[in-house]
Structure formats: structure tokens, C-alpha cells
Amino acid sequence: MTPIRIILADDHSLIREGFKAILGQSDRFVIVAEPQNGVELVEFALSTKPDVILTDLSMPRMNGFEAMDEIRKADRDVKFVILTMHEEREYILRAIKAGASGYLLKNTERIELEHAIITVHEGGKYFSPSINNILAEAVLRPDGGEVGELTAREKEVLELVANGHSTKQIADMLKISIRTVESHRINMLKKMKVNNSAELIRKALELKLL
């Protein structure tokens, strides 16, 4: 049986080595390239013509979404399985829209990873159970149903915003950067479909998030 040729893209060497070791336990798979960023992913995808691309979404130089777009312009038949820590609804739906046939979290077990790759290679789709739940919610609540969409960190930031703390104070209290706090604020405004902090707090109160 001809091995499934795989590109494994991730900017963390330990992650790549870990999954390479997992897949190396079976003769069904062969890793043909290990790009460390989105630009390398595009280059290797076009030069090696893999059967399946395993890729993270958050990578330097070019993120996974952008890399997928570039690759699919040249090869519409390439199969993508997302392997990431992002389990937010917007990431999942955007990945599927970009052409992903599979979506797994990085804590996946070896059997599930192998099954996902084989399923996608054979023309199917595979999403881990937790991802399937989010997809089902997206179908049942296409308006984006705000409740439950905020991450644990975003909820922490929301509570501190509601208590009147500044961006710098929140950054100091949570031991994260100011830029990260601002990013969380922007994400919350988008998710809650509001335009400013006052509206955000009011909406959060209505939804009993505070």
C-alpha cells in the first residue's frame, strides 16, 4: 500500500517532532516536509505535492488561513487537516470555509489522528467530537448565539473591564501584554456584536455573563 504523503506544518519544533514520532509508528504515513511557517508551507506544498497537509493556524510570516488560500489557488485537490489549540467557533468555521476537511485539537490521541488523516485522504471529512458539538451549535444557532462563545480568558478580561480596570491594569493583573488585552477586547466586541466597552458590559449583563 502506497504511504500517504504528509506535510506537517507548525512553528514549534517540539510539536512537529511529537506528531512526527506518532505518525512514524505506522507505515501508512510518510512525512515529506516540516515547514515552520506559512510561507514555507506554501513553498513545500507546491514543490512536494502532498496527499494531506497537517497544519496549525497560528504561524509566523503567514498564518494557516492565508497559506491554505495560496495553496488552493494552485491545487484545488489538496486535503487539509487542521491541528491546533484553537477551539473557538470562528476559527473552526473559517477553516472549513477555507477548505479544511478535518479539524483536530493538539491533544488528540494517535488513533484519532491516524483515522482523521485516512478519512480525509479517502475523500471524507473528520472533526473531533468537541468540534462536532460546536458545528452543531453553529447550525442550530446561525446568528452566532453569544452565550458560551467567550473563552475563559476573555471572561476574565470582561469581568475586569466591568469593574473599571484599565487595559494596563488588566495586563498587569493577568500577567499578559497590553496588546493581548486589546486583542481580547476586540474579539469580545465582535463576538457580542457591540461597538464599545459600555455596550459590551450592557450586553454581558443582559446575557447574565456578569
Q: Which CATH architecture has domain 152-206?
A: Orthogonal Bundle (1.10)
Ranges of the chain with pLDDT below 70: 137-149
Distance CA 85, CA 202 (A): 30
pTM surpassing 0.75? no
In the chain, domain spans:
4-140, 152-206
pLDDT tens-place string over residues 73-104: 988 889 999 999 988 878 888 898 889 999 99
pLDDT of 120 reads: 96
Q: Would you say 45 and 73 are in contact if contact means Cβ atoms under 8 Å apart?
A: no
Cell numbers at residue 40, please? 514555507
Domain 4-140: top CATH class: alpha beta
